[in-house]
Amino acid sequence: MESGQKAVTFKIGLLGYGTVGTGTAEIILDPSGRNSLLKEIEIAKVGVRSLDKPRSPELPVGILTTDLESIVTDPEISIVVELLGGLEPSRSLILKAIANGKNIVTANKAVIARHGEEIYNAANDAGVYVLLEAAVGGGIPVIKPLKQSLGVNRIQTVIGIINGTTNYILTQMTEEGADFGEVLTEAQKLGYAEADPTADVDGYDAADKIAILAAIAFGGRIKRDDIPCEGIRKINATDISYADDLGFVIKLLAIAKANENNDSLQVRVHPTLVSKEHPLANVNGVNNAVLVEGDPLGQVMLFGPGAGKGATASAVVSDIVNIVGILLTNNTNE
Amino acid sequence: MESGQKAVTFKIGLLGYGTVGTGTAEIILDPSGRNSLLKEIEIAKVGVRSLDKPRSPELPVGILTTDLESIVTDPEISIVVELLGGLEPSRSLILKAIANGKNIVTANKAVIARHGEEIYNAANDAGVYVLLEAAVGGGIPVIKPLKQSLGVNRIQTVIGIINGTTNYILTQMTEEGADFGEVLTEAQKLGYAEADPTADVDGYDAADKIAILAAIAFGGRIKRDDIPCEGIRKINATDISYADDLGFVIKLLAIAKANENNDSLQVRVHPTLVSKEHPLANVNGVNNAVLVEGDPLGQVMLFGPGAGKGATASAVVSDIVNIVGILLTNNTNE
């Protein structure tokens, strides 16, 4: 380098190289015009199930491995990016990575909603970070603003449209006057809904996410299994049409609400009549939004693409850069 | 303290104790249920023009002073919070505070839009932080997400409704079919517009703010005087009604846009026809919103109260807490 200083490079390991993983690599391998810390990051290892599949972007030989354990124990790797999804082996790999002193970036709402406390405690003990911006709201900055900028407020409510699939289905039902079943089939064809749509349409995905947001906004422990959860299967075209006549739209809302004395908390997921004047009423299609109400702030809404390769990868990489920034500051101070 | 550790307290000095200053004190003096770092902050000095005015919240004797210089040179103070507004003496006091090793939090868009480069350079040399979340978008987290979470994207556009007064006036004109003059008079009575409304209605305030956002989003230097700026004085009820017929609303937009090759930048402020389907079309009254478009993210919109005591104080205090967090980390590492 010009100044004669040696570049500090932070090696990261990816667990998983599906949609979000390749999106993450695309950003890191093409850093020009982006946050300059990207140039300090090197993808050292990528864990996949099979080495035979063609992949884009292609990675140099020797980076792909099917041995995920070798990534979380690699002494050269300082950040492990978990993009496997699901509970296991994600939980075990994250805990092993933490035990090996790695910082964690994850997009996995399920593992954080169910095992967040165990993971955070392990990270505290090890003195490492666990960042999860991509776990809620795709590319929308939600977790970090809630932890930081908005955290000086006494938070009263967090309300989210945080499942893109159900919001897409409800939007289509509203625009086409169609029933749930038809729109679900169409959404599955378009790739907006999974073959098994349960996690989305029954509200479980939204419940995972509001559990995470509530724990951050209100502190303490949210028991995921205690969150009452009603999905959108029972909504039909007639409901939506009646709501429309009365000045409302139907949205699947995930709600976390403190009572007036701020000493108890309600967390729930269910279809809700939303007045057409309300900021959440115009959040349509696969977009997500999180509305935070606090004292003395008032209402703030964060809106954007709740899913998709680029949006989710943007959140993953912002977390990686965030950790690199902290590590660099600490290095400089040592 | 229970653990036997001595509490680290960070002394801050406020320059100005008007609406935002008292809002800031209200949050800091009532920390329960908020970010725990608030308990580490002590308001050590508050600079005001006169000591005779009654103030709420009341501050202990000896904290109020008319000697603003004594605050920026006080060796015990680590963060100076500039809430005076305007160019001078704000600029000189900020520079003197920086020269004395203080970190700066400011809500002053004018001084940053005109003297940002000088102030940032001085801060870099002195190794201190200058944070300004409250300068744009009131309580909405905008500056920090733009610098951090969104910065891994190649930013293409930043479009803001970032002046609450003009947005209030345009909203009222739209809802009441009234002309500019009547609504301005009404807004002045309600305190939503100043006696001299020039800075707001001619778009200068929005130009200050988009200069700041553009410098952060696109890097480099934005010459404030080069920003073409047209206000809302010429808009009348007929314009709004024609727009409505065609499916548009009229909004005062502040726009910063890179060209396709990302090698040149347009920054401007003017009334704009916004399609009713566009997310910015529903940003009404004194609310603000900033829409950021980036690659690979797509569109994200940050929405909320663009002004007001509580909202602006929320942003100021979030910056103070942010600096305290960094100072604590650095102390721990030393």
| Confidence label for B332 from pLDDT (cuts 50, 70 and 90) | low
Residue A333 banded pLDDT, cuts 50, 70, 90: low
pLDDT band at A61 (very low <50, low <70, confident <90, very high): confident
- pLDDT grade, residue A166 (50/70/90)? very high
Residue that has been written with the tokens 């500019």 in this structure: B180
Say whether pLDDT at A209 is over 80: yes
pLDDT score at B130: 98
Distance (Å, rounded) from C-alpha B161 to C-alpha B137?
9
The whole-number average pLDDT for the span B16-24 is 95
Find the mean pLDDT for residues B159-187. Answer: 96
- Burial call B32-54: b when 16+ CB within 10 Å, e when fewer: ebbbebbebbebbbbbbeeeeee
**Which chain A residue has its CA at the smallest distance from B147's CA?**
A35
pLDDT in tens, B294-304: 999 999 999 99
User: Distance (Å, rounded) from C-alpha B59 to C-alpha B46?
Assistant: 9
Instruction: Give the orientation angle of helix B180-190 with respect to helix B164-176, to 10 degrees.
Output: 120
Check residue B333 and give its pLDDT. Answer: 54
What is the percentage of chain B residues whose pLDDT exceeds 90?
85
Topology annotation, domain B143-305: Dihydrodipicolinate Reductase; domain 2 (3.30.360)
* Longest distance between any two alpha carbons in chain B, whole Å: 70
Work out the mean pLDDT of chain B and round it to a whole number: 93
Other CB atoms within a 10 A radius of the CB of residue A39 amount to 13
Tell me, what's the pLDDT at B7?
59
Residue B207 burial (CB count, 10 A)? 27
DSSP string, B117-148: HHHHHHHHHHT--EE-GGGSSTTS--HHHHHT
Q: Of these residues, A96, A102, A109, A209, which one is catalytic? A: A209
- Shortest Cα distance, chain B CAs vs residue A275, angstroms: 13
Q: Choose among A151, A300, A305: nearest Cβ to B139.
A: A300
Helices (H), chain B: 19-28, 68-72, 90-99, 109-126, 143-147, 164-176, 180-190, 198-201, 204-218, 237-245, 309-333
- CA-nearest of B122, B115, B63 to B97 is B122
Look over chain A and give the mean of its residue pLDDT values, rounded to a whole number.
Answer: 93
The confidence score (pLDDT) of residue B124 equals: 96
DSSP structure string for A177-209: ---HHHHHHHHHHHTSS-SS-HHHHTSHHHHHH
Tens digit of pLDDT for each residue in A65-102?
Answer: 999 999 999 999 999 999 999 999 999 999 999 999 99
How far apart (Å, rounded) are the C-alpha atoms in residues B211 and B226? 10
- Indicate the DSSP class of residue B38: G
Burial of A1 (0-12, 13-18, 19+ CB in 10 A): exposed
CA-CA distance, B151 to B322, in Å (whole number)?
18
Dig out the tokens for A117 from the structure. 């406390």
pLDDT surpassing 90 at residue B143: yes
B143-305 matches B10-138+310-333 in CATH topology: no
Asked if B149 and A144 come within 8 Å (Cβ–Cβ), the reply is yes
Structure tokens at B59: 């501050």
Question: Residue B257 and residue B268: Cα distance in Å, rounded?
Answer: 9
pLDDT(B141) > 70: yes
Is B209 one of the annotated active-site residues of the chain?
A: yes
For the segment B242-257, the average pLDDT, to the nearest whole number, is 97
B242 phi and psi angles, rounded to 5 deg = -60, -45
Q: Are B153 and A333 inside 8 Å of each other by CB?
A: no
Q: Is the pLDDT of residue B89 over 60?
A: yes
Cis peptide before B60 (omega within 30 of 0): no
At residue A4, does pLDDT exceed 50?
no
Which of A34, A304, A333 has its CB closest to that of B298?
A304
B chain contacts of residue A151, beta-carbon cutoff 8 Å: 34-35, 318, 321
Which has more pLDDT, A73 or A52? A73
Exposed/middle/buried for residue B224 (C-beta within 10 Å: 0-12, 13-18, 19+): buried
Q: Mind listing the pLDDT tens digit for each residue in A8-32? A: 699 999 999 999 999 999 999 999 9
Amino acid identity of residue A94, one-letter, is I
| Chain centroid to CA B127 | 23
Residue B3 has pLDDT above 60, yes or no: no
Query: pLDDT exceeding 70 applies to what percent of chain B?
Result: 96
Residue A159, Cβ neighbours under 10 Å: how many? 25
Which band of pLDDT confidence, cut at 50, 70 and 90, is reported for residue A53? confident
Across residues A42-57, what is the average pLDDT?
A: 90
- Residue of higher predicted confidence among A254 and B51: A254
Q: Give residue limits of the domains in chain A.
A: 10-138+310-333, 143-306
Question: Hey, what CATH class is A143-306 in?
Answer: alpha beta
Interatomic CA distance for residues A238 and A269, integer angstroms = 22
- DSSP codes joined into one string, A88-152: TTHHHHHHHHHHTT-EEEE--HHHHHHHHHHHHHHHHHHT--EE-GGGSSTTS--HHHHHTGGGG
- Partners of A11 in the β-ladder: A42, A77
**pLDDT of the residue at A323:** 96
Q: Tell me, what's the pLDDT at A332? A: 63
Number of inter-chain CB pairs under 8 A, A vs B: 160
Q: pLDDT per residue over B177-233, tens digit each?
A: 999 999 999 999 988 889 999 999 999 999 999 999 999 999 877 899 999 999 999
Instruction: Report pTM.
Output: 0.94
Residue from B45, B96, B209, B251 carrying the catalytic annotation: B209
- Look at residue A85 in the predicted model and tell me its pLDDT: 93
Q: What is the pLDDT of residues A32-43, one digit of tens each?
A: 999 999 999 999
Neighbour-count burial for A67-90, b at 16+ CB within 10 Å, e otherwise: ebeebbbbeebbbbbbbbbeeeeb
Chain A residues whose CB is inside 8 A of the B302 CB are 141, 300-303
Identify the CATH homologous superfamily for domain A10-138+310-333. Answer: NAD(P)-binding Rossmann-like Domain (3.40.50.720)
